[in-house]
Structure 1
Amino acid sequence: MSISSGARVGARWALVSVLAANMLVDALEVSATLVALPAVGSGLGAPVTGVQWIVTGFAAGFGGALLLGGRLVEWLGRRRVFLAALLVFAAASLGGALTDRLDLLVATRVVKGFCVALTAPTGLAIILAAVPDGEPRRRAVSLYSLFGAAGFCSGLLLSGSLTGAGWRWTLAFPAPVALALFALGLRVVPRESARPGGGPRWHAVVTGGALTGAVLLLVDALARGRWGGAVAAAAAALVGVRAERASPRPLVDTALLRHAPLVRSALGAAALNGSYVSFLLVAVLDLRRGGWSSWETALAFLPAGAPLALTALHSGRIAARLGPARAVAAGAVAAPAGYALYPDSGAGGVRYAELLPSMSLVGLAFVLAFTALHLQATSGLAPGLRTAAGGLYQTCVQLGAALTPALTSALYATSGRSAALWLVTAVGLAGAGVALAGLAHPSTDPS
């Protein structure tokens, strides 16, 4: 599938531009909907525990499909999976914007998460296969990563601009963009032969479906406080485990579960991402209740996302200079410090200057820890295992963003903002504890 050396450089960069633009759209999904949540809840008459599904449903679809997505690419080919996911993503975006039912909107969010689980890693795989090794590939991957990091800020600004005109515009915006990228992708994404995996495929499908179902059931149980949902989630997880154990080619190599740096990184990243999304969920509800507009809220959130975008091209150097374990620990400590500094709204409400220290510390946490966590997760692994380790790690990142906000929304609805913030801070502190423990057992490459 590689582009020949005689091909025009312009064709190669047209491909990279399409894939990077798609990564931008994928990445803005969380931040755009976060800012729009109060408006969506008001428009559909949904409580906090219902409207949180717009965020957690997307994360559940994303995390549940990542492991299966890699196998689908093997069976069907990168081009077909990427382009088909773009079409379904566009349809789900339009369907979510037009529906007046929360359950249908949530369903479209789960589907969109599934699509992003296919397009994001597949786009990177296409770049690695199509762009020659060396400086061209380094620049292409850097551009792809930069657009992903910039997606959060783009989503904030987009939602701040569109939500004022109506929350449906925020949800509908990705549809025409995805269709345009599909049309361009038909022209620039190279064709390649599918490489069917050997053996039966039903094990992988059952495992992926059971994992997604278990996460959705657990999110529902946490948001509603129903033990029955937790039991159903456990049963679905058991089905997935049994299918995985019976598979001649499991989705997860069990050797990865014995790799301590990967396990620590996955737990730490789940705590960091879950507490981060939950913190912004509490903040957006608090600020909108205090009379802030969607645009004002978006600007208030920028310090929590802009630092990562501004340092995206240098994040690897930062992690290398500090050492991954120290960078992770510093970021993991900065995050709960930021949560704890969130100002008490009081009678006069929150001012922007009062929010700045809290949001800035949270943004600093991601600058320090985000790339370092991924580097730590794959350190010491054989090259053949690093792709699988990355998929398992990213699955945990998304599961954190699905489960923690669900419980946070339940606490916010029943006990108020302070209790929800205490939970967010506790999750962040748990991640800090894992990171600090990693300092005592730093990752080392095998001799």
Structure 2
Amino acid sequence: MTHSFVPPHTAPAPAHASWSPRLWGLLVVLAGNMLIDALEVSVALVALPAIGTDLGAPLATTQWTITGFAVGFGGLMLFGARVVALLGRRRVYLAALLGFAAASLAGALAEDPSLLTATRVVKGFCAALTAPTGLAIITTAFPEGPPRSRALSVYTLFGAAGFTAGLLLSGWLTGFSWRLTFAFPAPAVLILFVLGLRLIPGADEDRAGQPGGRTAQQPLSTARRRYGFASAAAFLVGLLALVQGITSVSAHGWADVRSTGPLALAGVLLTLFVVLERASTQPLVRFEVLRSGAMIRSALGAACLNGSYLGLLFILGHQLQSLAGWSPLRTAAAFLPAAAPLVMTALYSGRIVARFGAPRLIAAGALLPFTGYLLLLRAPWPPAYATGILPTMLLVGAGFVLSFAALNSQAASQLPPAERGAGSGLYQTAVQVGAALSVALVAALLTGFAPPAGAAPAEIAAACRPALALVAVIGGLGLLTALTGLRSRRTGPP
């Protein structure tokens, strides 16, 4: 549930809408790749225990398969938008497909956790290039009206289905080898690349579909080109250092340079990023967007919703497989009640938002997962699935159904049209950074309170409760943020 590029107000188009065979093929490429991008996190979640066993890596190291992808995605999102603007959609999209396939194969063959982490960061960057660009291609390649509405509906459905599909595939493939879960996207992406060579429109076709012959993604003139390499590097390395510092504290303590060093480096680099952006004439970040209260509330709320959810799955995946002896497939099936509801309601999310309003849905969507986290905290170890884990999964799934599209909608609600692209980039960055930091904090707590070998159930429960409590705190922060949105709605101008 880490991708939010699908437009929240899409609905099934009338049956009489028609496409050419070329448009059908283009949609297969774009929606198929969106599906693969969306499943990248869930496949790693289920495979984590097997990865740790095979590579001899502790939990603080294997967590990088989740956080590395999120940092690559969120840390390079703004830079990726600049790359697309300068080089053009077609060129960047096709290059990202090749990079994704190569990283998938390298990750599947990795014998060292560091190499596996590097491939995850690369795949995150590739997803940051293709996910928003695919949506932009749809808005220019498909004629306005029923054809575009139907295309957006398909794109929405595939994006929502990706996380669920990843759980099922990983649960099945990890039973044979965790390496298959990282290898299987490569041939699929290469097929999409071959099709994309013929079907993805070039710059001339993009311009032809826009009023006045220009698009928002048209490459800038050579004289105006500025990629922002220094800012992008400072932000990316700063986030990587922050995650490394967080996970090192549990192993080495606060006084060790292996913990304080990365944390200090992160502070310096993230400060440098802000300084560079403030001084730039062509910044990657438009700080004016942050003046919107709705934008800030949406970004923080989405970061808490996504971060608490992934943190919960990280804990349960570790508990159920490493400590309770569950198989990967059984673990994946246990997570489905939280992931599947969004797939079944994705096409109707716009109607739900229009009917009840975004602030109310966001508040309800934050309350339900928070309640589920508290219920799980009270459950004894080992928690019975029907009375312990399942209610939490159902409440989290309902929370996503209510608030996922509403958060997207609210984020841009107070921004002028010219600022909505910049707002979307910042929103997506916040969602991914929230996921990375939440999982890193959870992994640090699980490592710091790890029970000894042969521990009694009571000791195991005590070891997991600090991490579960953190998930509940993150969910509670999201709820408080949502409640401020309700108050703002009551006291603000009509």
- Do Structure 1 and Structure 2 share a fold, with TM-score over 0.5? yes
Report TM bin, short chain: over 0.9
Q: Is the 8 A contact 1:379 1:443 kept in 2?
A: no
Distance 1:133 1:8, change over 3 A: closer
Aligned to 2:460: none
Q: Mean Cα displacement is larger for which, 11-20 or 436-445?
A: 436-445
Please give the per-residue CA displacement for 1:197-242, whole angstroms capped at 9, x wherever unaligned. 5756556222122111111110111111222211101111122122
Aligned with 1:182 (options 193, 196, 220)? 193
- 2:488 aligned with 1:441, yes or no? yes
| 1:312 CA drift (Å) | 0.4
Displacement after TM superposition at 1:443 (Å): 9.2
How is 1:27-426 mapped onto 2 (pairs within 5 angstroms)? 27-192=38-203, 195-196=219-220, 201-202=225-226, 204-225=228-249, 226-288=259-321, 289-342=323-376, 350-352=384-386, 354-415=388-449, 416-426=463-473
Does the aligned pair in 2 maintain the 1:290–1:349 contact within 8 Å? no
**1: CA distance, partners of 2:223 / 2:411:** 29
Tell me how far apart the structure 1 counterparts of residues 489 and 238 of structure 2 sit (CA, whole Å): 33
Q: Distance in 2 between matches of 1:356 and 1:391?
A: 34
Indicate conservation of the 8 Å contact 2:79/2:227, yes or no.
no
Distance 1:191 1:397, change over 3 A: same
Q: Give the gaps of 5 or more residues in structure 2.
A: 1-17, 205-217, 250-258, 450-462
Distance 1:222 1:283, change over 3 A: same
For normalisation by structure 1, the TM-score amounts to 0.95
The runs of at least 4 consecutive aligned structure 1 residues that moved more than 6 Å come to 443-447
Deviation at 1:347, TM superposition (A): 6.1
Measure, in 2, the Cα distance between the counterparts of 1:346 and 1:159: 28
- Pick closer, same or farther for the CA change 1:197–1:285 going to 2, 3 Å: farther
Deviation digits for residues 254-297 of structure 1 (CA, Å, limit 9, x no counterpart): 22011110011111111111111101000100111201100000
Q: Note the alpha carbon deviations across 1:130-156, whole angstroms, 9 max, x for none.
A: 001111111111110110000011001
Unpaired segments ≥5 residues, structure 1: 1-6
Provide, for residues 321-356 of structure 1, a one-character-per-residue CA deviation record: whole Å limited to 9, x for no partner: 111000000001111111222277756564355321
Q: Is the 8 A contact 2:86 2:225 kept in 1?
A: no
Deviation at 1:442, TM superposition (A): 2.1
For residues 8 and 262 of structure 1, the distance between their equivalents in structure 2, rounded to whole angstroms, comes to 36
Q: Percent identity?
A: 52
Alpha-carbon distance in structure 1 between the residues aligned to 2:430 and 2:158: 22
Separation in 2 of the partners of 1:130 and 1:110? 30
CA distance in structure 1 between the partners assigned to 2:376 and 2:316 by the alignment: 9
| More divergent stretch after superposition (45-54 vs 353-362) | 353-362
Tell me if structure 2 keeps the 8 A contact 1:217–1:230. yes
Contact 1:59 1:399 in 2 (8 A): yes
Supply the distance in 2 between the matched residues of 1:355 and 1:60 (Cα, whole angstroms): 29
CA displacement at 1:446 relative to structure 2: 8.8
1:440: Cα distance to partner?
Answer: 0.4
Matched length: 441
CA–CA distance in structure 2, aligned partners of residues 346 and 428 of structure 1:
21
The answer on whether the counterparts of 2:294 and 2:412 sit within 8 Å (CA) in structure 1 is yes
Q: How big is each residue's C-alpha offset from its partner over 1:361-383, in whole Å with a ceiling of 9 and x where there is no partner?
A: 00111111111001111002211
CA distance in 2, matches of 1:200, 1:47: 47
Secondary structure in structure 2 of the residue aligned to 1:165: coil
For the Cα contact (< 8 Å) 2:365–2:400, is it kept in 1?
Answer: yes
Output the TM-score relative to the length of structure 2.
0.86
Determine if contact 1:64/1:395 at 8 Å carries over to the other structure. yes
CA contact (8 A) 2:247 2:440 kept: yes
In 1: Cα distance, 2:403 partner to 2:447 partner: 31
**2: CA distance, partners of 1:357 / 1:55:** 25
